[in-house]
Structure formats: structure tokens, C-alpha cells
Structure 1
């Protein structure tokens, strides 16, 4: 079934959102009420995407936009706490719990940090190894994990299908001041959880229907059709976006997939400005343990034989 996402300039007004909702912001931990705001934030992000894409367009070929997202509560890490990966696991637990009631949910990072320290993976909450991060996720969330050692650009079908199934994708990247992906060689390494995606397709003979040019994806065969169409043409990664959350902001974000892929692939070293003795840094360096790596989490009882790759 195809549904349209209602997008309107008045659908979501960030500055006024707090006064209309029961959101409670802790110093760190789960932001109560944040999951209820996701639909409004999606509408705002889609409206902005439509506006920006129309301003950048230099041709008259319309773009068909398809969106899918999984609403999860936000978890704040605290601005001086390097526990971005741990709070991302807290959010991942909420996604997994929808599929497996045995998957654990944590309101904050404290117990996860204790285990990470006891395993020798971390000192303050930093996680500089994707393999160790995946092992930690399995232990604390009671789930299964897969570490993909390839760029996002080369694995986008697998990532998007994983997200469509409602499972979390965890990505290390360099964060800019606005928390979006940037290129700083790993000096601002950060973890984010991906919760959904938006796919744009140039369609010469397509006209937006009803009141909205963005379509909500609800059936797997619709995703298969998109994949089939994209496989027959040169895939334009600049038309792909991902919904993301990270521990320094309670807001749902929408990032350029291409920018995130480039950021993930540029992780080369821990910032020389940091005191390396205060962190657990793998001997081989993050160029080996983080660069171009992605962590996929699945419910413990998932039948691997039924897991359909892109």
C-alpha cells in the first residue's frame, strides 16, 4: 500500500515544538516524549528536502521521492560525555524490542559503560572498534550483529533493506558542529544510528499525485520495484538520504547518504589533540577498526535464511 506523507510548512515548527508536547529533556538519558514528535519532524525534514531539491534542480525532470522511517526515542549523551556509541545502542534496543520482546532496553548508557570497561573496550565510553562495538551490542541487547567492511556507497541496498525491515544500522562518521557528516580524518569520530531512508528517482513520465510529492513506503515489493528500477540505470547517490539520530541532539535528522558514506570512509586517525592515554585505542588504529565499517543489528531469533539481502 502506498501512502503520501503530508508535508506542509506548518506541519512542524521546531521552535514551538517544546510548548506543544510533553518532551522532558534529561541531563543525559532517554528524552521522554521524543518518539511522539518523530512524525512532525519527518514532515518538516521532507518539506525542507523538497524545497532544497527544487532550488538545486537544473532540469525539468521531476523526482519521485520515497520514504521509510522507524520512530525511536532519542537518548542524550551529555555534551562532555564520549558515550555516543553507547547511547546509540540504547536507541537500537528500542528498534529491536519491537521485533523481539527479549531484546533489552536501556534508558541511559551507565550499565553499558560498565560492561564496556570490564571488557577492556572503553575507558570513558569511546568505541574505536566496530568489531568490539558489535560484540558489546550482542551482550547488552541480546541480539545478533554483522559488521560490514565496505563503504556505504557499495552496500546501500543492503542497508536500506535492513532499515525497511525495522532493524538498526550503526555508523561511525566525523561529526560537524551541526552534527551532520563532515570530513576531518576521524578527528571528530562519532556514532549515529540510522532509522530510515529517503530515495529519490528521476522520472521523466511521473507526476506527483494527491497533495504530496513524497511517498511513504510500506510494502517490501515496492522496495523491490525501486531496486529493480535503479539497477537498470546509473544510481545517483546524491538523491539518497538517511534518517539518523545521535546522542548530542534529541531531533530526528535527515542526512545526505553520499556525505555520510564519504565521512565514514575518511576515518583515519584519532585526533592528535586528544590525550590518547585516556582512551582505549586499538593498536592497529581506527583506519583499520572503524574506517568504512558499518554495524547491523538483528533480533536474536531472526532466521538468517530468510534475511534477504539487497
Structure 2
């Protein structure tokens, strides 16, 4: 899913990704309990840049994550999946991957250049297609309900808006291998140190091979909604 959001889109079939992952010893059943291995797979098969983020989605990494999404790049996040696909906290027993394709920011002031108000939702602004736009001021950490990730899990039909802090907290508590999986008689590839070492507090930043590392953005806080999709066609 993240590959389709890169520019140009990868167009790599899922079967090819799984084949390479099995050949490299990253997976046995399609599982992926290592963010580092997922990064190696992305670099090899998608031909993109893949940066492993350590230390969680909060400070000091929060601004980097938001700037990455504002710049239009996908983010891969391991988290515990609830029955409705949203983030929950099950100590890693329901660990899954999600892709974030954009971000919804509550801001005080919408930049003057490059944004258009949604015709149906007053107060919601989108980057204008084909027009250069100034990065928005980022809401301050701790300002509740001002940052949402546009995210999708593979079993879901639709993208959902997830509260950033809930995603952060779910990602930070991935510590244990699921007891039901441990008892199902199947083999799984789990890195040394287990789920905690492979997934906890980690995420994967994907960029096209020729993109710059990180855009500039100023800190801020606000109350107007701005939608910043990662896909140019979103």
C-alpha cells in the first residue's frame, strides 16, 4: 500500500514482496516482526529510501514524522489493531502494520499561498493541486485533538482518521508475542529480542529515491483544520 503512494508508484505485486521477504529470511507466513527488515525489503523491492525511526512517534520524533507526511511521503507504523482496525493496547498480541497517507492538522492560521478551502466543509483546507504551498505551522505537542493520521490497515476497505496520540501509545507498547500465535503450531520469524526489539517504538519513513531528507516547518498550535494528503491524487 505504501508503494502505491510513492512517486512514481511502485507497481510491485504483493506476491513479489512476499517472495523476496521469504527468500531473505524476513518472514515465514507473511508476518513481519522487524521494522528494520521491513526497511530492507522496501529499499530492495520498491527502490525507495527507507529510514527506521526509533524512540516512538512522540518527542523528539514528532515534528519529523509530521513533516514527512506534510511533504507527501508514506509512513509505515506497527501498532495493536482493535476490532474496528483502530489503534488499541494489547501488549503486541494484536500487532499489525498500517500505512499513513496524510495528516489532518488543527492550525490557528492557514498559509496564504497554495491552499484551497473545501467546498463542502468550511474551515477545512487542502493543498491546491499543482501549486507550490508553504508548510503549515505544526500544532504543539500536548494540544489534544489537533493531529490525526489518515491511516489504513490492510484488512480495512477504507482510510480512517486516527488520533495521533493513540497511534503513538499503541506503537510504544508492542512488547509481547501473541500467545495464540505461539500455540498455533506454525513457524514465525521473530528477531532476537522478540517483538519489543523488532517493533516497539519504531516506524518506517519511506521516500522516493531522489527526494530530499526533510522539509522545513515551524512549530505552532491552532484550531482550524488543514488536510495534508501524502498522495498527490488524494
Relative to the length of structure 2, the TM-score reads 0.79
Where in structure 2 are the equivalents of 1:37-186 lying within 5 Å? 91-98=1-8, 104-107=10-13, 109-154=14-59, 155-186=61-92
Point out where structure 2 has 5 or more consecutive residues left out of the alignment.
110-116, 218-234
Matched residue of 1:158: which SS?
helix
Question: Which residue pairs with 1:268 in the alignment?
Answer: 175
Question: Which residue pairs with 2:202 in the alignment?
Answer: 293
Q: Which moved more, 1:146-155 or 1:193-202?
A: 193-202
- CA distance in structure 2 between the aligned counterparts of 1:96 and 1:270, rounded to whole angstroms: 31
Question: Does the aligned pair in 1 maintain the 2:2–2:99 contact within 8 Å?
Answer: yes
Question: Which residue pairs with 1:247 in the alignment?
Answer: 154
Alpha-carbon shift at residue 120 of structure 1 (Å): 0.5
Question: Which residue pairs with 1:195 in the alignment?
Answer: 101
Question: Does the aligned pair in 1 maintain the 2:36–2:52 contact within 8 Å?
Answer: yes
2:193 counterpart of 1:284: yes
- CA distance in structure 2 between the aligned counterparts of 1:255 and 1:270, rounded to whole angstroms: 24
- CA distance in structure 2 between the aligned counterparts of 1:165 and 1:209, rounded to whole angstroms: 20
Matched residue of 2:207: which SS?
strand
RMSD: 2.3
- CA distance in structure 2 between the aligned counterparts of 1:243 and 1:104, rounded to whole angstroms: 20
- CA distance in structure 2 between the aligned counterparts of 1:242 and 1:209, rounded to whole angstroms: 18
Alpha-carbon shift at residue 247 of structure 1 (Å): 0.7
Alpha-carbon shift at residue 191 of structure 1 (Å): 0.2
Question: Does the aligned pair in 2 maintain the 1:158–1:309 contact within 8 Å?
Answer: no
Distance 1:309 1:173, change over 3 A: farther
Question: Does the aligned pair in 2 maintain the 1:157–1:309 contact within 8 Å?
Answer: no
- CA distance in structure 2 between the aligned counterparts of 1:95 and 1:156, rounded to whole angstroms: 21
Alpha-carbon shift at residue 95 of structure 1 (Å): 1.3
Question: Which residue pairs with 2:163 in the alignment?
Answer: 256
Question: Does the aligned pair in 1 maintain the 2:118–2:124 contact within 8 Å?
Answer: no
Question: Does the aligned pair in 1 maintain the 2:12–2:45 contact within 8 Å?
Answer: no
Question: Which residue pairs with 1:73 in the alignment?
Answer: none
2:126 counterpart of 1:216: yes
Point out where structure 1 has 5 or more consecutive residues left out of the alignment.
1-90
Question: Does the aligned pair in 2 maintain the 1:146–1:296 contact within 8 Å?
Answer: yes
Relative to the length of structure 1, the TM-score reads 0.60
Aligned residue pairs total 203
Structure with the bigger percentage of helix: 1
- CA distance in structure 2 between the aligned counterparts of 1:147 and 1:209, rounded to whole angstroms: 34
Alpha-carbon shift at residue 139 of structure 1 (Å): 0.8
Question: Does the aligned pair in 2 maintain the 1:93–1:141 contact within 8 Å?
Answer: yes
Alpha-carbon shift at residue 201 of structure 1 (Å): 4.2
Matched residue of 2:180: which SS?
coil
Question: Does the aligned pair in 2 maintain the 1:153–1:237 contact within 8 Å?
Answer: no
- CA distance in structure 2 between the aligned counterparts of 1:147 and 1:309, rounded to whole angstroms: 20
Alpha-carbon shift at residue 104 of structure 1 (Å): 2.6
